[in-house]
């Protein structure tokens, strides 16, 4: 009886752990997608306002962006906070387990390759090669061209 009860408790605990990992992966995936879309929006706004497509962009492994749509590329703090129903960098808000890094590099001669990398409860890698679900990390890769 005790052995059966222990087995059931272990199965339930394992199931709960996998459920939380799945939930965190979904949130991280959406935050990674949001990061890539915010960078794309910044490029699009540059075009609409008559600026060069990549005005304000610099190739960096250490960028961050949030709903303010400001791209900062000299950051060392990638932690996201939760404030007013948004995940944000800096400012006030509740600390979260999520961190987001934006990596910008050249793509061919006129474009940029964007990686939006989000991790939770682990190390935030500086590139997508070290980002896997087992390492508690999700990323989105986007190619932006100079239109």
pLDDT in tens, 13-41: 555 555 567 899 999 999 999 999 999 99
pLDDT at 139: 97
The average confidence (pLDDT) of the chain is: 87
147 pLDDT exceeds 90?
no
- Contact at 8 Å (CB) between 39 and 56? no
For residues 60-79, give the mean pLDDT. Answer: 87
Instruction: Give pLDDT tens digits for 96-143.
Output: 999 999 999 999 989 999 999 999 987 899 889 999 988 999 999 999
The more confidently predicted of residues 77 and 98 is 98
Q: What is the pTM of this model?
A: 0.85
Question: Does residue 120 or residue 11 have the better pLDDT?
Answer: 120
What is the model's pLDDT at position 74?
Answer: 82
Over residues 82-104, the pLDDT tens digits come to: 999 999 998 889 999 999 999 99
């Amino acid at each position: 009886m005790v052995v059966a009860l222990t087995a059931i408790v272990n199965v339930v605990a394992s199931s709960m752990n996998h459920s939380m990992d799945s939930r965190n992966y979904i949130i991280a995936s959406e935050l990674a997608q949001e990061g890539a879309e915010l960078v794309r929006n910044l490029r699009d706004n540059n075009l609409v306002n008559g600026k060069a497509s990549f005005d304000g962009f610099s190739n960096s492994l250490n960028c961050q962006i949030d709903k303010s749509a400001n791209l900062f590329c000299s950051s060392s703090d990638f932690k996201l906070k939760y404030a007013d129903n948004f995940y944000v960098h800096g400012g006030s808000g509740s600390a979260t387990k999520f961190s987001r890094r934006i990596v910008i590099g050249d793509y061919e001669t006129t474009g940029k390759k964007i990686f939006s990398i989000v991790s939770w409860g682990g190390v935030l890698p500086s590139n997508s090669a070290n980002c896997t679900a087992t390492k508690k990390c999700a990323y989105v890769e986007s190619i932006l061209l100079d239109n």
